[in-house]
Chain A
Amino acid sequence: MLPLRLEEPSRPSFIARLNESAKAKVLALQEYFTLAWKALRFIFSRPFYTQDLVQQMDEIGVKSLGIVLLTGLFTGMVLALQSSVQLKTFGATIYIGRLVAASMIRELGPVLAGLMVAGRVGSGIAAQLGSMRVTEQIDALNTLGTDPIKKLVTPRVLAALIMLPILTVINDLVGIIGGNVIAKFVVDIPSSLYWRTVWEQIAADGFIFRYIPNDFIQGLSKPLVFGGIISITACYFGLATTGGTEGVGQSTTRTVVTSSILILVIDYFLTQLLLSVLAV
């Protein structure tokens, strides 16, 4: 008798819970996209918080320069080193430049810059907005007649959209220079040859509008998307923070995990899309 009684009410409650959590997930998704839509729409409407934008560009872009330079340099170097070992077996070490350039510009540059910024900036944004939420500063903005999305989210999203492509270009460039260093000093390939192969690679995939290499389109549309993902995810989790300081910690973790996964997953689909559009 007893086990039956226990089992019966638990079954509908499990389904109910499943239902509840599914509904909550859908609602969260809807809120995420609403936030994204509003943040983007407010870019074009008054008042413009220019000062906040400049401050965020400094925070997201300039202050991330150090880690981006470092990761770019070492990634380029290790790429050159590893590919030299592989290419040596075919006697094709002169193609190091091609390999480094293709990997950096198309994939590693955007993805690594994205992951670094997600860790450094995404967590910072989530922590700041989360603390503002739990100390009622978001409510205070609302009561002072300011839309928090306009004041806080839009400048961050716009700053990320502008700065991430720039960081990626720097990352690519430093990575290719790192490859150059290894090619010259370890593999003994002259710089002029290295840079010629780099250019060959860029030119090999064709041009769009005659002068813009397809590789650049791939390499620059990705960071634009990643910048949006990082900033909107961070703002979303930051603004949705509940439960005091512990909640701030959770939002920060969620931001880094979610945006990193999103970057890697969306990178795949974006690559597939771009490859088919650019028809390489």
Chain B
Amino acid sequence: MSEIEYRGAPTHVDEEAPPSRRETDRRSSAVRKAIRKELASDEPEVREGREDGDAARPVIELSNVDLAFDMPILQNVSFTAREGETIAVVGESGTGKSTILKLILRLLVPDRGTVCIDDQDITELSFEEALKVRQKMGMVFQGAALFDSMTVFENVAYPLREHTDLKEDEIEERVREKLEFVDLDADRVMEQMPAELSGGMRKRVGIARGMANNPELMLYDEPTSGLDPLTTGTITRLIKKLQMELGTTSVVVPHDMRSAFRMATKVALLHDKSICFFGDPEEMIASDDPYIREFVGG
């Protein structure tokens, strides 16, 4: 535990104040209607992902995970993500959503319980072994976390250069392919530095870098935060495209419920340090639980 990586691995805390209850209630019915409509239009695809979901093998399994820094953050958290599923982890600010991603990446180790990736318990792994397991995963950070001393090309090529024996022209081909997948003009952006890009473009490069190695598992930490509604839509569609076309299993910590419902095949709601709801988006919308109702409305 003395490795430097554990120091100051801060859980993300939003400073936004939660909306007042009355306001939430007022907004709730309109939002529900909008979400239902949206789900209806997406339904065939979402169902397809879910139907074979139950039979598919589990990719991520968290069981009875406890984690505390100075105070308890997660208690008895369990859920399973099966192949091809997209799990949205939602909850109030500071409830440990990003922490769950860090547990899956083994940037953090739980105090109790196990985290399994492809039936392999990663909590006991050494630091070097963990680096290997992480190659199966692609992570998109909240602020994209592009290496600002490298060009866009070098950023996307980074995992390929690190972990594959691809030749330089093969790498370039792969980078172009990935940049085009995320709707970026490869010729234009490849030689640019991350600082020269807009927020939405940086996020897209982040996604391209995350998927460069063709990982079987993609993790997104608030991929749409700080973006305008149009770009948010683009990124959401992109994540869905990834899931549909490549069948990648994903865990998303979404910025808002709207995009959560658009992307997810399953929703996990974190409340009071543990998961209080895990199921389909429709189930969540139909729920009578006052907290869930309030949450969906907000």
- Which A residues are closer than 8 A to B by beta carbons? 27, 30-31, 34-35, 47, 131-133, 135-149, 236, 239-242
Contacts and interface: CB of A to CB of B under 8 A. Distances in A.
A35 B145 contact: no
Given A135-B145, A136-B141, A240-B7, 5 more contacts: A31-B4, A142-B5, A143-B139, A145-B162, A240-B4
A144 B162 contact: yes
16 contacts: A31-B2, A133-B8, A135-B143, A137-B146, A140-B141, A140-B147, A142-B134, A143-B105, A143-B138, A145-B132, A145-B159, A147-B127, A147-B128, A148-B4, A239-B4, A242-B7
Nearest to A47: B162
B28 interface: no
Given A31-B2, A31-B4, A145-B162, A139 B107 contact: yes
B5 A148 contact: yes
Nearest to A146: B162
A30 B3 CA distance: 10
Interface of A is mostly: helix
Contacts of B138: 143
Given A34-B4, A242-B8, A147 B148 contact: no
A91 to B, nearest CB: 59
B286 interface: no
B105 A142 contact: yes
A138 B141 CA distance: 11
- Sorting the interface of chain B by its residue count into under 10, 10 to 19, 20 to 34 or 35 or more gives 20 to 34
A51 B141 CA distance: 26
Contacts, number: 78
B68 interface: no
B137 interface: yes
Nearest to A242: B8
Contacts of A31: 2, 4, 7
B10 interface: yes
- Residue from A34, A135, A149, A239 having most chain B Cβ neighbours under 10 A: A135
A145 B131 contact: yes
Contacts of B141: 136, 139-140
A199 B191 CA distance: 54
B249 interface: no
Nearest to B5: A142
10 nearest A-B residue pairs (beta carbon)? A242-B8, A136-B145, A140-B145, A143-B139, A145-B135, A136-B141, A145-B131, A145-B134, A144-B159, A137-B145
A137 B10 contact: no
A147 B131 contact: yes
A244 to B, nearest CB: 10
B142 A136 contact: yes
B143 A143 contact: no
Nearest to A151: B162
A35 B148 CA distance: 24
Contacts of B9: 139
A243 to B, nearest CB: 8
Given A139-B145, A143-B139, A149 B163 contact: no
B158 interface: yes
Contacts of B146: 137, 140
A139 B103 CA distance: 12
A139 B108 CA distance: 11
B249 to A, nearest CB: 16
A76 to B, nearest CB: 37
A145 B132 CA distance: 6
Contacts of A137: 145-148
A133 B5 CA distance: 10
Nearest to A244: B10
Nearest to A143: B139
Contacts of B163: 145
